[in-house]
A and B are shown apart, each in its own frame.
Chain A
Amino acid sequence: MIPPVALVLGLALKSLFVLDYVHVITGASWTGFDLYTGIVLSRILRSLEVPARVEVAKRLTPTTFFIIPSLAAVAITSGIYLAQAMGKFDLGDPWILAAGAIVVVLTVQGFGVFLPNGVRIFLELAKAKPDPALISRLTMRNVRLAASQAVFQVLIILVMAHLAVY
């Protein structure tokens, strides 16, 4: 709940500084989570047996229910408000269009695949007789998706760096 409340605070104060801070911290945390999951955690999970993967999923999945959608939604929303406030929200600008295209891909992946998969993992874990193979498969799908998201986020940071300087 902290990221959306911080965004409301930044907008209520009409502070470009707070808005910029909220955008950078949420975007960086989202990217950091995906880079860590996609590069570090995926290697660890691949080396584990299925029951051990399930134990990791039990602890990891409920955390990602709220943190990632909250960070993603606030990073995107604050980014649009920031671009508007700085007079850079020009849909004829190829860099803004590139940022928009990457955001669409990240949003569809995150809210259309990552989140539902997380819920399915949780529901399977909540069953009296969970299917370890299904949990492991869904967890590994999310880990691979995080790696793909990390690539798009590295690209969007390149676009952001260009927009911030030029």
Chain B
Amino acid sequence: MNTSALAAIAVFAAALLSVFGVLYRMASRSHARGELSYDGIRILRWALLGQLAIFAILALTAFLT
């Protein structure tokens, strides 16, 4: 297992999650004010899931080296 690669991927994923967290909070507030439809929140969740899937696959590579 490549520990440094796994650590680097975890750091990237954490940074991305924090950025998405801020954006999700902004989107939730807009939704609460009635400016943003639920579709916007739903697509944002799918986007986040897609990014997490990419990082999960990359994390898998750390076990292959």
A residues engaging B (CB < 8 A)? 1, 4-5, 7-8, 11-12, 65-66, 69-70, 73-74, 77, 80-81, 84, 107, 111-112, 115-116, 119-120, 122-123, 126-129
Contact = CB atoms under 8 A, between A and B. Distances in A.
B26 A123 contact: yes
A128 B43 contact: no
B58 A65 contact: no
Given A77-B5, A126-B39, A129-B35, A70 B61 contact: no
Contact of B61 (A7, A66, A115): A7
Contacts, number: 86
Contacts of A84: 65
Nearest to A65: B47
B1 interface: no
Q: Interface residues of B toward A: which range?
A: 20 to 34
A4 B43 contact: no
Nearest to A111: B16
B16 to A, nearest CB: 6
Interface of B: 5, 9, 12, 15-16, 19-20, 22-23, 26-27, 30, 34-37, 39-40, 43-44, 47, 50-51, 53-55, 57-58, 60-61, 64-65
Nearest to B42: A126
A112 B20 CA distance: 10
A4 B64 contact: no
Given A11-B65, A111-B12, A115-B19, A128 B57 contact: no
A112 B19 contact: yes
Q: Do most interface residues of chain A lie in helix, strand or loop, or is the interface mixed?
A: helix
26 contacts: A1-B53, A4-B54, A4-B61, A7-B57, A7-B61, A65-B50, A66-B47, A66-B54, A69-B54, A77-B58, A77-B61, A107-B12, A112-B19, A115-B16, A116-B19, A116-B22, A119-B23, A122-B43, A122-B47, A123-B26, A123-B40, A126-B37, A127-B36, A127-B37, A128-B37, A129-B35
Given A7-B61, A11-B65, A123 B23 contact: yes
